[in-house]
């Protein structure tokens, strides 16, 4: 079963953020999208990722957007930063998923759907800024970590889950006193992602105490958004509906409002 040594090895093997991506992020943080686009042009993999992601149906562009300068101009500073963090997460995506029955396209669709809906949620809450918008990017990383750690122990994990009816996050905590969200915090630290981003994502597990009011609100909405997306047929089939425990008591006071916002989003998507 998963051990602390395996977790440490996994974290040690995470590559540093590529130099060009770091430089592009620096320009985005300064608000210089022209220089950010020129920098991104130098990395073919990043350029392809940007083009592929922004042309997903969830972003709603009628015509294909292929020019990097145009992509950054359309996205703006906050969303450009968010997508660059998404790209960092993409370097962790396994060549072959072991635990979850996912394709690369399905995972990238999940990234895009979470990002687009999160931006609309933040707009509804009047909490849209660079850090809060980028927070959603770390959430899919926890799914990647889960697959990497449990993929080699599928039979043992399935047996434990069938007997104890536990989610993956709880299993990991009971084995190692570390959660999937703890590991994401360490990834964020390695990639120099602002602490506020990792705090929001960690709180989205529904287990954190003594949250600041704004952090609690963001964590509640992120928790619900995660379960809303993972309840879609594709991700239920992939096994992601058993990812972490849904804490209804954590989100019950915002549930109806959340559904109104999401249903409006769905009907106008």
Q: What is the pLDDT of residues 40-99, one digit of tens each?
A: 999 999 999 888 878 877 777 778 888 999 999 988 998 899 889 989 988 899 999 999
Model pLDDT, residue 265:
56
Model pLDDT, residue 75:
85
Model pLDDT, residue 162:
81
Work out the percent of the chain whose per-residue pLDDT is above 70. 98
Mean pLDDT of 144-158: 92
Out of 68, 90, 112, pick the residue that ends a domain: 90
**9 and 132 part of one domain:** yes
Tokens 């608000």 found at: 31
Model pLDDT, residue 267:
55
Distance CA 40, CA 66 (A): 13
**224 and 167 part of one domain:** yes
Does residue 200 surpass a pLDDT of 80?
Answer: yes
Is 262 within 8 Å of 256 (Cβ atoms)?
A: no
Model pLDDT, residue 112:
85
| Confidence grade of residue 163 (pLDDT, cut at 50, 70, 90) | confident
- Residue 201: Cβ-neighbour burial (10 angstroms; 0-12, 13-18, 19+): buried
**175 and 76 part of one domain:** no
Out of 67, 90, 113, pick the residue that ends a domain: 90
Model pLDDT, residue 116:
86
What tokens does 135 get? Answer: 């927070």
Q: What residue numbers bound the domain in which 34 lies?
A: 19-90
- H/E/C letters for each residue in the chain? CCCHHHHHHHHHCCCCCCHHHHHHHHHHHCCCHHHHHHHHCCCHHHHHHHHHHHCCHHHCCCCCCCCHHHHHHHHHHHHHHHHHHHHHHHCCCCCCCCCCCCCHHHHHHHHHHHHHHHHHHHHHHCCCCHHHHHHHHHHHHHHHHHHHHHHHHHHHHHHHHHHHCCCHHHHHHHHHCCCHHHHHHHHHHHCCCCHHHHHHHHHCCCCCCCCCHHHHHHHHHHHHHHHHHHCCHHHHHHCHHHCCCCCHHHHCCCHHHHHHHHHHHHHCC
Model pLDDT, residue 125:
97
Q: Of the given ranges (16-20, 214-218, 219-223), which has the lowest mean pLDDT?
A: 16-20
Please report, in angstroms and rounded to a whole number, the separation of the first and last CA atoms in the chain: 42
Model pLDDT, residue 158:
85
Out of 90, 109, 142, pick the residue that ends a domain: 90
How many angstroms separate the Cα of 71 from the Cα of each of 19, 54, 112, 267, 269?
21, 8, 15, 25, 20
- Report how many domains make up the chain: 2
């Amino acid at each position: 079963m998963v051990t602390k040594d395996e977790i440490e090895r996994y974290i040690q093997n995470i590559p540093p953020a590529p130099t060009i991506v770091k430089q592009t992020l620096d320009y985005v943080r300064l608000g210089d999208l022209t220089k950010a686009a020129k920098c991104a042009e130098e990395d073919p993999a990043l350029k392809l990722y940007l083009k592929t992601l922004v042309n997903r149906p969830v972003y709603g562009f009628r015509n294909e957007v292929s020019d990097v300068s145009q992509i950054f101009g359309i996205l703006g500073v906050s969303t450009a930063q968010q997508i660059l963090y998404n790209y960092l997460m993409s370097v962790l995506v396994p060549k072959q998923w072991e635990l979850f029955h996912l394709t690369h396209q399905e995972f990238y669709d999940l990234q895009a759907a979470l990002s687009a809906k999160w931006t609309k949620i933040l707009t509804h809450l009047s909490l849209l800024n660079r850090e809060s918008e980028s927070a959603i990017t770390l959430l899919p990383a926890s799914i990647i970590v889960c697959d990497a750690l449990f993929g080699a122990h599928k039979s043992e994990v399935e047996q434990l889950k069938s007997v104890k009816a536990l989610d993956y996050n709880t299993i990991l905590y009971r084995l190692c006193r570390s959660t999937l969200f703890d590991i994401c915090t360490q990834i964020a630290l390695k990639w120099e992602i602002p602490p506020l981003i990792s705090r929001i994502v960690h709180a989205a597990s529904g287990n954190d105490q003594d949250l600041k009011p704004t952090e609690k609100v963001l964590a509640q909405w992120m928790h619900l958004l995660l379960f809303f997306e993972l309840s879609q047929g594709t991700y239920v089939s992939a096994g992601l509906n058993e990812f972490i425990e849904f804490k209804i008591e954590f989100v019950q006071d915002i549930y109806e409002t959340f559904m109104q916002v999401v249903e409006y989003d769905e009907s106008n998507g």
